[in-house]
């Protein structure tokens, strides 16, 4: 039994412009390993991550033949039990930390809230633990950062704080949605290295969402390539050259490389036949 088991996951949205099939019958498993989901904008990566945590709101509809975490059926779990999993056993670093952090609470209060309320730690112990986590993501002046509000931090700092915050409960699975896309290239590499170490040290499972295939291949084990809501190719990250699918080959050939300029993504040649 894998940590996470997904079969035939589908997510639909009813919009004014008509129905949108954001995810169209995908399946994969994740163990204590690093799995990347790559694909261009709109391919369904974030929606996939959010449906694992049951964060897709109506009128969005999620169905699956299997959606299981550690043997528990996530589709039928009560909301109360789901809350115990969300943020505790499965954590998600959202694409934009600005929306994930509470703007009117200091970083320190946000980081220690759960520790104090849920785990009953004293203020002093909770603060010490939060500062430890900040140190783990290479933030050395933790005391100062704890007093800051989200808007007072740079993008890079915000991403690192998010990662630290998500790791406090020691989750079994971390879903990181473009956790470095807002960062400049040097900080990006730093944050990735930190994430990589933490995953290895803690034996967590990681789902890393990105549109940069080359980037993910450097520190993930497996890569799932998404196109129009489907998984069109599964690759061993060490062997990207084995990619067969023309869409994957397109991603490989025309994505900006690390250190290159980060202009808009080039438009790939596409064919409707790639997705059934
Ligand atoms: N709440 C919603 N209502 C309607 N459509 C939605 C909603 N959320 C997502 N979608 C649609 O679902 C599809 C997949 O979106 P998703 O956010 O998963 O893409 P993505 O692969 O994460 O893209 P990006 O790289 O830009 O983050 C898109 O067509 C998007 O417009
Ligand atoms: Mg996304």
CATH number at residue 252: 3.40.50.300
Alpha-carbon torsion angle 189, 55, 204, 69, nearest 10? -150
Bridging pattern class, strands 173-177 and 34-38: unpaired
- What pLDDT shows up at residue 195? 82
Residues 6 or more apart from 1 whose CB is under 8 A from it?
Answer: 71
pLDDT tens column, 141-174? 999 999 999 889 887 788 889 888 888 888 999 9
Residues 194 and 243 in one domain: yes
189 shares its domain with 260: yes
Q: Whose alpha carbon is nearest atom 31 of ligand 1?
A: 42
**How many residues does the structure list for the chain?**
276
**Ligand 1 atom nearest to CA at 39:** 21
Residue that is last in its domain, among 128, 145, 168: 168
Residues 58 and 147 in one domain: no
Q: In whole angstroms, give the CA distance from residue 100 to residue 113.
A: 15
Distance CA 209, CA 177 (A): 5
Whether residues 221 and 201 fall in one domain: yes
Would you say 107 and 190 are in contact if contact means Cβ atoms under 8 Å apart? Answer: no
Number of DSSP helices (H) and strands (E) in the chain, helices first: 10, 11
Which residues make up the environment of ion ligand 2, defined by Cβ < 5 Å? Answer: 46
* Among the listed residues 153, 28, 55, the one whose alpha carbon sits nearest the alpha carbon of residue 103: 153
Under 8 Å CB-to-CB from 262, ≥6 apart: which residues? 185, 256
Total tally of structural domains belonging to the chain: 2
Residue that finishes a domain, picked among 168, 183, 217: 168
Verify that 34 and 67 share a domain, yes or no: yes
Note whether 12 and 77 are same-domain residues: yes
Give residue 36's pLDDT: 96
Are 126 and 178 members of one domain? no
CA–CA gap between residue 84 and residue 70 (Å, rounded): 13
Q: In this predicted structure, what is the pLDDT of residue 61? A: 96
| Cα–ligand 2 centroid distance for 119 (angstroms) | 32
Same domain, residue pair 112 and 53: no
Q: Are strands 222-227 and 61-63 parallel, antiparallel or unpaired?
A: unpaired
Q: Is there a single domain that holds both residue 175 and residue 270?
A: yes
184 Cβ contact partners less than 8 Å away, ≥ 6 residues apart: 156
Domain shared by 155 and 205, yes or no? no
Ligand nearest to the CA of 42: 1
Q: Is 156 exposed, middle or buried (0-12, 13-18, 19+ CB in 10 A)?
A: middle
pLDDT tens-digit readout, 34-48: 999 999 999 999 999
Whose atoms come closest to the Cα of 41: which ligand?
1
Looking at 151, 168, 185, the residue that finishes a domain is: 168
Does residue 42's CB lie within 6 angstroms of at least one atom of ligand 1?
Answer: yes
The answer to whether residues 116 and 71 belong to one domain is no
Pick out the chain residues at pLDDT < 70.
97-99, 182, 254-276
CA-nearest residue for atom 11, ligand 1, is: 22
Same domain, 126 and 255: no
Cα dihedral 140→96→35→201 (10° resolution): 20
User: Could you tell me if 59 and 142 are in contact, meaning their C-beta atoms sit under 8 angstroms apart?
Assistant: no
Q: How many angstroms is it from 41 CA to the middle of ligand 1?
A: 8
Q: Is the CB of 142 under 6 A from ligand 1?
A: no
Determine the distance separating the centroid of ligand 1 and the alpha carbon of 146, expressed in angstroms. 33
Share of the chain above pLDDT 70, in %: 90
CA distance 108 to 127: 7
What's the pLDDT at 101? 81
Strand partners, 126: none
- How far is ligand 1, taken at its centre, from the CA of residue 167, in Å? 26
- Residues 250 and 274: beta-carbon distance below 8 Å: no
What is the domain range of residue 155? Answer: 98-168
The ligand whose atoms approach the alpha carbon of 40 most closely is 1
Q: What is the pTM (predicted TM-score) of this model?
A: 0.87
Write down the H helix ranges in the chain.
45-52, 79-85, 97-100, 107-117, 123-136, 142-147, 155-167, 185-202, 213-217, 246-254
């Amino acid at each position: 039994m894998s940590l996470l088991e997904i079969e035939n996951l589908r997510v639909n949205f009813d919009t004014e412009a008509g129905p949108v099939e954001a995810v169209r019958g995908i399946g994969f498993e994740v163990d204590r390993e690093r799995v990347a989901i790559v694909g261009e904008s709109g391919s369904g990566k974030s929606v996939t991550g959010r449906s694992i945590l049951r964060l897709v709101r109506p009128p969005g509809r999620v169905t699956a033949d299997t959606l299981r975490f550690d043997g528990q059926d996530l589709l039928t779990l009560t909301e109360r039990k789901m809350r115990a999993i969300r943020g505790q056993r499965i954590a998600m670093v959202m694409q934009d930390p600005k929306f994930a952090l509470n703007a009117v609470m200091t970083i320190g209060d946000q980081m220690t809230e759960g520790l104090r309320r849920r785990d009953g730690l004293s203020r002093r112990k909770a603060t010490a633990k939060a500062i430890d986590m900040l140190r783990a993501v290479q933030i050395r002046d933790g005391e100062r950062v704890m007093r800051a509000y989200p808007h007072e931090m740079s993008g890079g700092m915000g991403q690192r704080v998010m990662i630290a915050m998500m790791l406090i409960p020691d989750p079994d699975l971390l879903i990181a949605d473009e956790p470095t896309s807002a960062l400049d290239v040097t900080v990006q590499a730093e944050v990735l290295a930190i994430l990589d170490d933490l995953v290895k040290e803690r034996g967590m499972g990681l789902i890393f969402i990105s549109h940069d295939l080359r980037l993910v291949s450097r520190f993930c084990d497996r890569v799932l390539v998404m196109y129009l809501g489907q998984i069109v190719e599964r690759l061993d990250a060490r062997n990207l050259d084995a990619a067969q699918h023309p869409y994957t080959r397109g991603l490989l050939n025309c994505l900006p490389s690390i250190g290159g300029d980060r202009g808009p993504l080039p438009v790939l040649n596409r064919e409707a036949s790639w997705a059934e």
